[in-house]
A and B are shown apart, each in its own frame.
Chain A
Amino acid sequence: MHINKYIKKLFLLLPLVFAGQVLLANTPAGAKPGFEITTNLILSIFSVVLLAIIILLAVTLKSAFKVYKEKMKSSQALKSLFIAGLSLLSIHALQAQANPEDAVKAVVYQEAEITKYILYIILLVEVVVIFYMVKMIKFFTGIEKVETEKAVRKPLVNWGNIWYRMNKFRPIEEEADIDTGHSYDGIRELNNITPPWFVAGFALSILFGIGYMWRYHVSESAPLQIEEYNREVAEAKLKIEEYLKTQANNVDENTVTMLDDAGIAAGKALFTANCVACHGDQAQGAGVGPNLTDEFWLHGGSIHDVFKSIKYGWPEQGMKAWKEDFSPTQIAQLASFIRSQHGKQIPGAKEPQGDKYVEEESAAAVTDSTKTE
């Protein structure tokens, strides 16, 4: 009997969980400074809590099953337990998969909404599993049986009945009336009508087809793919411009200046993640990319030149344009980092390529405006 109490307690827990979720949906994500609580974090904690509940329930279920087995000694139950165990397992798998993701997510998905939805799904699945397990426990302990015997309620909507009518099913007993009389190797065929919803659906899909062709190719009121693309690009352009107006991000090759140490550090991180394959781990040059620490430059060595080389690339020589990958600020960080590496003597560095570049501290701005051409 103590199992009963167990279940009741768990039931008390459930609304708490839900309340928590509702609350959390209303709290703005990660608001407090210094102590970062993101929605995802809360959701993750909840999913872990729910998992704990599931494990607890599993233990209960196991003992409930023992009780049941003694009572019934039926093989049917074993199968049910197998299914229950299976769903439990799959939840474990989901969870195990979700957790390492959390770590990655923190980096990759900082902004992405998707994680939140994934977590919601995990939570939902967990709640469903909890309900399912509670039901199983009730079934094994015999509570379910009593209840169903007590209450013979009529369901609000009789789906079976609606489905029956939708298909215009005829009772199986009347089958003989609609037998076509065909018998192929003993296979008989009935003369049931095609389900009315099938016919209606088919007609609708044809109407859809006509409407679709009409919209795209006769009235031309819907955009074809190239128009759609042009619109997309135009909209994005507007949005970016709007955004940049509010940002101090608007540097380009003419206005770029050497950044401070923080900027250089950020540039170093970017360099390590993106550039070392061609330019070597210390910018000393490698198979493809030239040495960036010596005085010789293929395309000019000022911060403006370097910025430009990164931004537009020199595709014929193997340097790709990075403007689609990095923001202007990021390019400035990179350029600053590269300039900061100047003069480092790195053993095994690549031989000089290009022209010797002499620093023109004072006249830089003037000469560069002509140089960029």
Chain B
Amino acid sequence: MELQKFQYDNKLPKMFAVACIFWGVIGMLAGVLAAFQLAFPILNFNTEFTTFGRVRPIHTNAVIFAFVGNGIFTAVYYSIPRLLKTPMWSNLLGKIHFWGWQLIIVAAALTLALGFTSGKEYAELEWPIDIAITLIWVVFGINMFGTILTRRERHLYVAIWFFIGSWVTVALLHIVNSFEIPVSFMKSYSWYAGVQDALVQWWYGHNAVAFFLTTPYLGMMYYFLPKAANRPIYSYKLSIVHFWSLIFLYIWAGPHHLLYTALPDWAQSLGTVFSIMLLLPSWGGMLNGLFTLRGAWDKVRVDPILKFFVVAVTCYGMSTFEGPMMSLKNVNAISHYSDWTVAHVHIGALGWNGFMTFGMLYWLFPKMYNTKLYSTKLAAKHFWIGTLGIVLYAVPMYWAAFRSYFMMKAFTPEGQLQYQFMDVVQTIVPFYILRAIGGTLFLIGVVMMVWNLYKTAKQGAFVATEQAEAPALPKQYEKPAKKMHWHSVIERRPVTLLVLSLIVVGIGGLVEMVPTFLVKTNIPTIKSVKPYTPLELQGRDIYISEGCYNCHSQMIRPFRYEVARYGEYSKAGEFVYDHPFQWGSKRTGPDLARIGGKYPDSWHFNHMLEPTSMAPGSIMPKYPWLFEKEIPVGTTNSKIHAMRKMGVPYADGYEAKAVDDLKAQAGEIATRLKKEKIEIDSNKQIIALIAYLQRVGKDIKVSDKVETE
């Protein structure tokens, strides 16, 4: 058969790789800053753009979508053409994809710093950016599928199964979780409320980990690990088993982020059992990776690239073992809201994603520049300092988590809480410092890599295109004489693979979401729970905008020590008007689900201005700008309107009264503050925030009171 000549493009993979490194450094820098802020609140710099509540989303978004995202695209744009013996389908779409994605990242960083956020973790970006992400993702999909459909290789390699599965699932997750109703150019409300919003969010959040941080990186592993080790993949059968079981099971596990919350028990249990079942399918990837190195372990000892891969795959195995364990209710009782979760994700992010990326880059740059790595020694040093960084990051966090757990749940024999929340904070701070040092070490390693790769590029000459040749794919498929595995049928039908993946991942989401949305008994209504007043609604938006949910939960779990500390445990019916929900995932500060009425207005006023004045030893940042900036009264009408559209029972035509009500309530609060000798204009943001905080969790306090008297 006639050989066709074609070229592999290295320009786009290089661009993605450079972007990956660039954003990686930025994202990790933000992480290090955030880590030090927790120990030294002065590093919040007293400006709204640099407080922890905004830096942390920048860190998470930058690391996930910019660092790992560009890492994925590097792997895809480099490996897919070579695995399919064809250039990428469209160079133009590739460029649109690249620049579009980078633009989204810049927009994300800016808007998050400015406080535009939807208030849902890892999905903070506001609606115009959500739409842009969808468009660019489609561009990426078209380009990838165009390439697959014009291939010169009949069967798809396992790496490509993972890329396809990831692409379609991320699209699904992003679209479903981003259902929101815009109220202005950069503000929207989640379509879902309370429990349902929580379920959708963690279905998304968990599977962002699954289908953005895990499955595409498994694809990456399946290409770069055998390449670097020059060994065959250990087991084709294992690939098949763990691919399908992984994508089917992963999607169910979201509710394990909501154990012991107001989510219905049956949904929680599904989250637990599917997480347990997920363990071995996850390990399938690790086993196939590690066993592929059989016969190459002597190389691992000397080759830093393989070292990175081995530790990455091992970290993957560790965190996918830890994850299911943390999904057990009794373990989750300890880990949830604690630094354990933070340690867990960083084993994954630093170890698995970080080290996989570094290994890939160290392998890729010499190839693309037709030279040798500038310094293998330096790469080995990077490996060691990176590993040390991970250990120094994780160990203090585990330690902190257990310490805080034992302190939190300690009662005196008389039945009083033994420690105040502040005692716990004070004990944890030294661990925050250690953790920040660990993160810094990891970042130093990355800087070493940047230097190494830069020198490598300098000493080599960039190979923009590589020549290749292969016969065209015959139109008619001829069965080979040798019997093929049944799965090969799917491997030569990419569209079938795509559709099957979509079906397989669709099931779990549907089974969990449909009943939660439709069956009334899942969220028993509470009569006394009323919609927020206009001022409270504005205050809530300030709460969201400042990223309070990054440190404060609003979900009291039914444990004796939580009820004693924060108040009556949270009920599903309390959150029906919460678009979006604000349950949070980490308690650096105390839970706020019953903060309403706990302190006087003046307490909140002083506390937001200078937290340590009301809570000595607090590590909370100051919020002086809330005392300068004015409540955006003009948006009130559209906010009320949007809420009513989503079923919040404001009376028809309430918009006409809303602003008057807002001003009246603000005036009341200003008057109350005046009694305490605090002078403040009633149009300042702090007034709205106080109004909201004084409302949170109060609607059912009536019944709570009956119990105490």
Known: A104-B427, A225-B265, A287-B676. A112 touches B406 (CB 8 A): yes
Minimum distance in angstroms from A196 CB to a CB of chain B: 12
Which of B43-51, B279-287, B351-359 interfaces with chain A?
A: B279-287
Is A261 on the interface with B (CB-CB < 8 A)?
Answer: no
Which listed residue (B227, B265, B417) contacts A324, Cβ 8 A? B417
Say yes or no for A175: interface residue by CB 8 A criterion: yes
* Structural contact, B237 and A193, CB atoms closer than 8 A: yes
Interface assignment of B652: CB less than 8 Å from any CB of chain A: no
Q: Is A2 on the interface with B (CB-CB < 8 A)?
A: no
* Size class of the A contact interface (CB-based, 8 Å): 35 or more
Choose among A208, A217, A233 the residue that contacts B276 (Cβ–Cβ < 8 A): A208
Assembled-state Cα–Cα distance A132/B258 (Å): 44
Q: Within 8 Å CB of A288, what residues of B?
A: 599-600, 602-603, 606, 676
The answer for the CA separation of A326 and B233 in the assembled complex, in Å, is 63
Tell me whether A184 and B416 are in contact (CB under 8 A).
Answer: no
Q: What's the nearest-Cβ distance from chain A to residue B696, in Å?
A: 14
Chain A residues positioned under 8 Å from B367 (CB to CB)? none
Report A-chain residues with C-beta under 8 Å of the C-beta of B565. Answer: 324
A189 touches B232 (CB 8 A): yes
CB B467 to nearest CB in A, in angstroms, measures: 15
Q: Does B677 contact A (CB under 8 A)?
A: yes
A185 within 8 Å of B by Cβ?
Answer: yes
A243 touches B416 (CB 8 A): no
User: Which of the candidate stretches A46-54, A138-146, A312-320 sits at the interface with the other chain?
Assistant: A312-320
The residues of A that contact B238 with a CB separation of less than 8 Å are: 192, 194-195, 198
Nearest residue in A to B81 (C-beta to C-beta)?
Answer: A185
Is B650 in the interface zone, CB < 8 Å from A? no
Q: Choose one: A181, A210, A328; the contact of B414 (CB below 8 Å).
A: A328
Contact B295 A172 (CB under 8 A): yes
Chain B positions within 8 Å of A318 at CB level: 599-600, 602-603
- A202 contacts B by Cβ under 8 Å: yes
Q: Is the beta-carbon distance between A229 and B265 smaller than 8 angstroms?
A: no
Residue of B nearest to A206 (CB): B277
Distance of A209 Cα from B278 Cα, bound (Å): 11
Among B273, B284, B294, B569, contact of A229 (Cβ-Cβ < 8 Å):
B569
Q: How large is the interface on B (under 10, 10 to 19, 20 to 34, 35 or more residues)?
A: 35 or more
What residues on B are CB-neighbors of A100 within 8 Å? Answer: 430
With A181-B482, A327-B414: A191-B237 Cβ-Cβ less than 8 Å? yes
Chain A, residue nearest B605 (CB): A287
Complex Cα–Cα for A108 and B407 (A): 9
A236 an interface residue at 8 Å Cβ cutoff? Answer: yes
> By the criterion CB–CB under 8 Å, are B406 and A209 in contact?
no
CB distance from A329 to the nearest CB of B (A): 8
A-B residue pair count with CB separations less than 8 angstroms: 190
Q: Is the Cβ of A213 less than 8 Å from the Cβ of B269?
A: yes
Question: Does B83 sit at the interface, judged by CB under 8 A?
Answer: yes
On whether the beta carbons of A233 and B265 are closer than 8 Å, the reply is no
- Nearest Cβ distance between residue A281 and chain B, in whole angstroms? 11
For the complex formed, measure the closest distance between the CB of B593 and the CB atoms of chain A, giving whole angstroms.
Answer: 15
Contact among A194, A201, A225, A236 for B560, CB-based, below 8 A: A236
The yes or no answer to A131 lying at the interface (CB within 8 A) is: no
Whether a CB of chain B sits under 8 angstroms from the CB of A9 is no
Question: How far apart sit A179 and B235, CA to CA, in the bound complex (Å)?
Answer: 10
Of all chain A residues, the one with the shortest Cβ separation from B274 is: A209
Q: How far is the CA of A302 from the CA of B614 in the complex (A)?
A: 27
- Judge if B415 is at the interface, Cβ distance under 8 Å: yes
Give min CB distance, A190 to chain B, whole Å. 5
Residue in contact with A240 in the complex, picked from B291, B414, B482, B563, CB distance below 8 Å:
B414
Q: Does B476 belong to the interface (CB within 8 Å)?
A: no
Cβ–Cβ < 8 Å partners of A260 in chain B: none
Instruction: Verify A229–B559 contact, CB threshold 8 A.
Output: yes
Q: A277-B616, A323-B416 are in contact. Are A180 and B236 (CB under 8 A)?
A: yes
A147: Cβ under 8 A from any B Cβ: no
A275 to chain B, nearest CB (A): 11
For B277, B291, B407, which residue has the most chain A Cβ atoms within 10 angstroms?
A: B277
A161 within 8 A of B: no
B155 touches A (CB below 8 Å): yes
Q: What is the minimal beta-carbon distance from B143 to any residue of chain A, in angstroms?
A: 19
Residues of B within 8 A of A112 (CB): 406-407, 410
Complex CA gap A202/B281 in Å reads 8
- Taking CB atoms, residues of chain B closer than 8 Å to A317 are 600
Instruction: Tell me whether B599 and A205 are in contact (CB under 8 A).
Output: no
Chain A residues whose CB sits within 8 angstroms of the CB of B291 once the complex forms: 167, 192
List CB contacts (< 8 Å) of B332-384 with chain A.
none
Q: Is the CB of B277 within 8 A of A205?
A: yes
Chain A 265-319 residues near chain B, CB threshold 8 A: 274, 277-278, 287-288, 312, 315-318
- A108 lies within 8 A of B603 (CB): no
With A86-B388, A184-B157, A327-B416 given, is the CB distance from A226 to B558 under 8 Å?
yes
The answer on a CB contact under 8 Å between B276 and A205 is: yes
Quick check: A188 and B233 within 8 Å, CB to CB? yes
8 sample A-B contacts, Cβ–Cβ < 8 Å, listed by A number: A114-B403, A185-B223, A187-B222, A198-B284, A202-B281, A205-B277, A208-B273, A318-B602
With A212-B276, A324-B564 given, name 6 new contacts (CB 8 A): A172-B294, A195-B287, A201-B279, A233-B563, A277-B614, A277-B616
- CB-based closest 8 A-B pairs: A318-B600, A209-B273, A229-B558, A188-B232, A184-B157, A327-B414, A240-B415, A192-B235
